[in-house]
Amino acid sequence: MAQIVNEQPAAPGRRAGGRRAPQRPAAASPRRGDGKLAWLLITPAVAGFLVFFAYPTVRGVYYSFTSFHILTAPKWVGLANWREMFGDSVFWHSLLVTVYFVGLSVVAGVLLSLITAVVLHRLTRSTVIRGLVILPFLISGVVAALVWQWMLDPQLGIVSQLLEKVTGVHLLFFSDSHWAVPSLAAVSVWKSMGYNAVLIFAGLQTIPPTVYEAGRLDGASEFQMFRRLTVPLLRPILVMVVILTVIGSFQVFDIVSVTTQGGPANASNVLQMYIYEKGFGELDFGYASTMSLALFVLLIAITFTQMRLARANETDLN
């Protein structure tokens, strides 16, 4: 008869044959108090968001449907402010001026930032030069506007004097209705170009050098590699830079307020200036809130449209 052997199950933690099985490290369990500590750390940020962003936004939406002057209580008027806005010729003129300013700022700003970033990436890695490039972004908008107003002054400005000596042309940069918006756009581009260039430079760091090596082996020139390799691979970064530039340009106020005050003859009266004039000049906060809400909706629509058309969440590196 065959001997029957009763096999007993191995003890926990041991393999058959008496050898001990290796122990797997237990999953780290969250320590007690981590959740309370996390809430304690984010409470100031959440409180600041609720007090300074969420609450004013909700109140602004409410005021857009009211007739509200600072000395009287808000009175519900429904869509009266919206009907007034759609029939306001000054509002549409200010919107067109803003779109013109945004177009100049975005096209010139993104192109110059891209060229600057490529030069920094291909020719130099100096942190000092990067710091000098981003320096204008760190300057207050009011200070930058005052400095450029003095430099472009038609009588005493150094830029105006040099331009007149070299070309013989005397330009009234901020006082001419044809040059006011381009001059404002130039100041805005100068101030934001360094920050955008650093963002694009960071995107260039993610492109593998082997991509350019393969392009050189195929006989591609520097311009061809820039057009067919660099720009397509930088699409997500470029889309982000364009969106940030569009939003910032639509919200321009300090440069215009310091230099032109919306003149001459409303030639540079951007939408933010008109909103400020209605709200703090005429104390019509209901109508000013309506225009602010319309600008907010417009920026959301533009942002989502840009992200959809440019496929901002896709990259050619995959």
- 305 pLDDT exceeds 50? yes
For residue 183, the enclosing domain spans: 108-270
The answer to whether the beta carbons of residues 13 and 20 sit under 8 Å apart is yes
- Predicted confidence at residue 4, as pLDDT, reads 46
Query: What Å distances lie between residue 130 and 106, 114, 133, 198, 206, CA to CA?
Result: 21, 14, 5, 7, 17
Query: What per-residue confidence (pLDDT) applies to 5?
Result: 45
What is the rounded distance in angstroms from the CA atom of residue 256 to the CA atom of residue 184? 7
Number of domains in the chain: 1
**Confidence at 64, pLDDT banded by 50, 70, 90:** very high
pLDDT in the model for residue 32: 61
Identify whether 280 is part of a domain. no
Q: Is residue 187 part of a domain?
A: yes
- Under a CB-based contact definition with an 8 Å cutoff, are residues 77 and 299 in contact? no
- Write the pLDDT tens digit of every residue in 139-180: 888 999 999 999 999 888 898 889 888 888 888 899 889 999
pLDDT for residue 257 = 93
pLDDT surpasses 70 at 25? no
Residue 19 lies inside a defined structural domain of this protein:
no
Model-level pTM? 0.82
Q: What is the CATH number of the domain that holds 191?
A: 1.10.3720.10
DSSP states along 127-159: HHHHHHHHHHHHS-HHHHHHHHHHHT-TTT-HH
In angstroms, rounded to a whole number, what is the distance separating the alpha carbons of residues 225 and 213?
10
Average pLDDT over residues 24-33: 56
Residue 312 lies in a domain: no
22 or 300, which is more confident? 300
